[in-house]
């Protein structure tokens, strides 16, 4: 992976960093809209501080670590489902105006809960006319101070706004943003868990339902669920036959957390789950079936990663089954390295099947 040694932070992170520099704190936690630039800068500038960069996805976490080489000794990168344990004196949260609202609420609450009394939360967003973020912070009952971009120093970017909240008391109410989703697969009712930031929150995705409907698994089959999300597909397949071995993997820490919770709730002993950003499966070349619902963004780079991961994992003659709304890329690219490529359309989705030669 060839990455530039330095990249400037995105506007909201630059603004949050500029404001954070004006505040005290030796126990610091930062989220990021990029590669943890704010966390790295604060760690360098405060060598006696303990700075944690919190990631929800392993892809940006790995990229950040690569650009930190060597990282400051007081900087840690953690890819975990929940905010690393505090208390913290300073929490720095850059947000995106087009981000998931419930995830932003969840992160803001986590930061306030883990702040020490007297600690500061800095939240910035790439919308200079923002009202939404300010309203969320005001609902905490704490005083909200506004820091427009022009007041934050030369490194802050235009088109952003930042806020400071100093914690004076513990939150009166802490909301649980997780959700249980009950769904039927054949004759069995199953329970999955979802959280903000997990695909798909508060529902079973129709594409997952199409995958489940399309699959018949032989006894003792070895099945790989690449990009498992909340785990509905893995749970459904595993619940059909205890002799089937299912391995679910995802780069999102919360997806892995939700899938593990679903495995425990449904008492499935034949599922393993892993946090994995490169799509690596244990015992490559030995799996019978790989299932995937790749995301549509990133110009199919992630789809290509999913497909290559399946190719390396499957045994010769093993099958890849992908569900998508955009089949053209698969139809054009899979025949180069796969056999028996076939496509079927079901209610606006396309099921792409291919066999590893």
Residue 153: the pLDDT is 52
Same topology, domains 11-166 and 179-355? Answer is yes
The pLDDT of residue 151 is 59
How far apart are the C-alpha atoms of 84 and 260, rounded to whole Å? 19
- CB-CB contact of 206 with 232 (8 Å): no
Mean pLDDT of 112-125: 98
pLDDT value of position 296 = 80
123 burial level (CB within 10 Å; 0-12, 13-18, 19+): buried
Q: Residues 110-123: what's their mean pLDDT? A: 98
Q: Tell me how far apart the alpha carbons of residues 208 and 213 are, in angstroms, rounded to a whole number.
A: 9
Looking up tokens 């425990």 gives 264
Contact 242, 219 (CB under 8 A): no
Phi, psi of 208 (to 5 degrees): -65, -40
Tell me what percent of the residues of the chain surpass a pLDDT of 70: 96
pLDDT at 299: 80
CATH class in words for 179-355: alpha beta
For the stretch 309-333, pLDDT in tens is 999 999 999 999 999 999 999 999 9
Residue-wise pLDDT for 275-287, tens only, equals: 999 999 999 999 9
pLDDT reported for residue 3: 42
Q: Which helix (H) or strand (E) holds 117?
A: strand 115-125
Q: What pLDDT score does 157 carry?
A: 52
Query: According to the model, what pLDDT value does residue 297 have?
Result: 74
Nearest residue to 67 via CA among 141, 155, 3: 3
- The rounded percent of the chain whose pLDDT value lies above 90 is 93
Q: Is 233 helix (H, G, I), strand (E, B) or coil?
A: helix
For the record, the structure tokens of 191 come out as 């329970």
pTM of the model: 0.94
The string of DSSP codes covering 279-331 is ---SSTT-EEEEEE---S-GGGHHHHHHHHHHHHHEEEEEEEEEEES--HHHH
Please check the confidence at residue 129 and state whether its pLDDT lies above 80: yes
| Long-range contacts from 285-288, C-beta under 8 angstroms, 24+ separation | 285/312, 285/313, 285/314, 285/315, 285/316, 286/222, 286/313, 286/315, 287/222, 287/223, 287/224, 287/247, 287/313, 287/314, 287/315, 287/318, 288/218, 288/221, 288/222, 288/223, 288/314, 288/315, 288/318, 288/319
Residue 152 has pLDDT above 60, yes or no: no
Q: What is the mean pLDDT of the chain?
A: 95
* 3-class DSSP state of 9: coil
Q: Which tops the pLDDT comparison, 48 or 154?
A: 48
Is 11-166 in CATH node 3.40.50.2300? no
- pLDDT exceeds 50 at position 156: no
Q: How far is CA 141 from CA 109, 163, 173, 329, 337, in A?
A: 12, 14, 11, 50, 59
Residue 118 three-state SS: strand
Query: DSSP secondary-structure letter at 75?
Result: E
pLDDT of res. 75? 98
Looking at the predicted structure, is the pLDDT value of residue 30 above 70? yes
CB atoms within 10 A of CB 59: 16
Exposed e or buried b for every residue in 279-291, given b needs 16+ CB within 10 A? bebeeeeebbbbb
Asked if the model's pLDDT at residue 5 lies above 80, the reply is: no
d(CA 160, CA 139): 21
Per-residue model confidence (pLDDT) at position 1: 39
Whether the per-residue pLDDT at 73 is higher than 50: the answer is yes
Among residues 254, 252, 233, the alpha carbon closest in space to that of 244 is found at 233
What pLDDT is attached to residue 2? 44
Q: Over range 282-306, report the average pLDDT.
A: 93
Return the domain boundaries, the chain: 11-166, 179-355
pLDDT in tens, 251-276: 999 999 999 999 999 999 999 999 99
């Amino acid at each position: 992976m060839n990455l530039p040694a330095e990249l400037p932070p995105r506007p909201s992170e630059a603004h949050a960093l500029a404001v954070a520099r004006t505040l005290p704190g030796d126990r610091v936690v930062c989220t990021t809209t990029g590669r943890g630039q704010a966390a790295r800068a604060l760690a360098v500038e405060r060598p006696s501080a303990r700075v944690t960069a919190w990631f929800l996805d392993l892809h940006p976490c790995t990229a950040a670590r690569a650009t930190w080489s060597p990282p400051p000794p007081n900087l840690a990168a953690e890819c975990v489902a929940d905010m690393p344990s505090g208390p913290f004196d300073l929490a720095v949260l850059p947000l995106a105006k087009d981000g998931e609202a419930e995830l932003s609420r969840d992160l803001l609450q986590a930061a306030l809960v883990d702040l020490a009394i007297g600690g500061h939360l800095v939240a910035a967003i790439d919308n200079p006319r923002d009202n939404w973020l300010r309203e969320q912070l005001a609902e905490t009952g704490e005083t909200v101070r506004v820091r427009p971009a022009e007041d934050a120093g030369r490194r802050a970017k235009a088109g952003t706004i930042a806020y400071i909240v100093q914690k004076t008391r513990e939150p009166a109410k802490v909301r649980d943003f997780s959700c249980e989703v009950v769904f039927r697969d054949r004759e069995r009712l199953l329970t999955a868990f979802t959280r903000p930031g997990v695909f798909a929150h508060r529902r079973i995705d129709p594409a997952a339902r199409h995958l489940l409907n399309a699959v018949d698994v032989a006894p003792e089959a070895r099945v790989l669920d690449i990009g498992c999300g909340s785990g509905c597909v893995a749970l459904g397949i595993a619940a059909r036959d205890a002799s089937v071995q299912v391995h679910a993997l995802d780069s999102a820490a919360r997806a892995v957390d939700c899938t593990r919770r679903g495995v425990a709730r449904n008492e499935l002993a034949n599922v393993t789950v892993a946090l994995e950003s490169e799509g690596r499966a244990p015992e490559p070349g030995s799996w019978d079936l790989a299932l995937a619902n790749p995301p549509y963004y990133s110009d199919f780079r992630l789809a290509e990663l999913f497909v290559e991961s399946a190719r390396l994992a499957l045994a010769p003659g093993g099958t890849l089954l992908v569900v998508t709304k955009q089949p053209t890329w698969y139809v054009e690219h899979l025949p180069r390295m796969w056999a028996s490529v076939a496509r079927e359309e079901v209610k606006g989705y396309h099921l792409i099947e291919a066999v590893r030669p």
